[in-house]
Amino acid sequence: MSTNTERIPARTLPARAAMPTRLACAIALTGALAAPAHAAVSDDVVKIGVLTDMAGTYADFTGQGSVIAAQMAVKDFSADGTVLGKKIEVVSADHQNKADIGAERARSWIDRDQVDVITDLVATTVALSVMDVAAQKNKVVLVSGAASLPITNERCNANTVHWVYDSYGLAAGTAKAVVGTGKKNWYFIAADYAAGQAMMDGAAQVVSASGGKVVGSTKHPFPNADFSSFLLSAQASGAHVIALANGGQDTITAIKQAAEFGITAAGQTLVPIVLFINDVHALGLETAQGLTLTEGFYWNRDEDTRAFARRFFEQAKKMPSMAQAGVYSSVLNYLKAVEKTGTDDAAAVMKYLKSTEIDDGLFKGRIRADGKFAHDMLLLEVKKPSESKEPWDYYHVRAVIPASDAALPLAQSKCPLVKQ
């Protein structure tokens, strides 16, 4: 495997550690598959592009950690960094959370550098723009970082998989659980971009369907450093719940400032629609304790997740977020598909991915016709400081949300790939 990283220096991978039992078996089985006699790999290289946020609002839960996750997937798939006898290469770049930069990088990667698959894509606007480019040029996109439902709904295409989480799944878990505790009146503080609107709309639908009511909302610019006016408006509304439909540093800042204003101490409940373990780490358990959230992956859930996470920690010096775990899973399964089909042709790879059960030790489920990887989600509660047994031991798993409840029903889909 060779690695070409732009702006961020490449890291040297350590010797591969012992794999967890089930994950090791899955990888060993993949390695045992015989390649077709006439393998067709374009340009004699399978090139994987990690297009991510290296230094902005979302860098902590994607960024260089996503590059490390992709490199780990390559190493775990093939000790010599090859598939079908051809070299696997990982490249990376910073899209700076700007759709035009993301689209131009994707176009250049595909036209000049022969990149076959692009992964991560943390910002929704970036993900949608790169999806369009990849569809035009018949390349694969594996989205792990963005949350917007349109990725597999009205903006879906045949070359894209939404791997980890979306606004529907996050809202279906967290909003339903909180309304069920009797906290029915909600006020939303949402980022003024597509994903913020999608998260607010999705959660509001769940709140209403569960017997709750939205009593107000406001939008803030992205990124934002001062949430005082938005929080004071929410406080004045008297809502039981103040829901944050944003992400990354914006969510961290809003939670910290809410604590400073004594909002939760006064009886209102703060609910982040999307929160990553990296955000909890930045906040500290003293501030984050008691928060309810939904994630697609938690490192301390079982033997397999812990084994993967500890190897990731050796390089990243932090535990993996669900987005970074998704990059690992998506790259590993993409390479399995290339090996199984004997080609990196996008149509063949996508057909295989949509026809097989995925179970890699981190995620288990199937990719639907709309490109949504439907798998279980986890309803989590942040532990009190006294309940944490070790660094990064931050969550109680309160419920497992089955894939059937965590994904938009296909009967409601606007994706043209879904036969109604």
CA atoms of 213 and 100, how far apart (whole Å): 38
CA atoms of 311 and 96, how far apart (whole Å): 28
Nearest to 178 by CA among 301, 295, 296, 291: 291
Q: How far does the chain reach from its first CA to its final CA, in angstroms?
A: 43
Domains and CATH numbers, the chain: 2-165+300-376 (3.40.50.2300), 177-299+378-397 (3.40.50.2300)
* Burial class of residue 61 in the structure, from the number of CB atoms within 10 Å of its CB (0-12 exposed, 13-18 middle, 19+ buried): buried
CB contact at 8 A, 237 and 215: yes
- Which residue matches tokens 């909600």? 186
**pTM for this prediction:** 0.88
Q: What is the pLDDT along the chain (420 residues), one digit of tens a residue?
A: 555 544 433 333 333 344 444 554 554 444 444 444 445 899 999 999 999 999 999 999 999 999 999 999 999 999 999 999 999 999 999 999 999 999 999 999 999 999 999 999 999 999 999 999 999 999 999 999 999 899 999 999 999 999 999 989 998 889 989 999 999 999 999 999 877 888 899 899 999 999 999 999 999 999 999 999 999 999 999 999 999 999 889 999 999 999 999 988 788 999 999 999 999 999 999 999 999 999 999 999 999 999 999 999 999 999 999 999 999 999 999 999 999 999 999 999 999 999 999 999 999 999 999 999 999 999 999 999 999 999 999 999 999 999 999 999 999 999 999 985
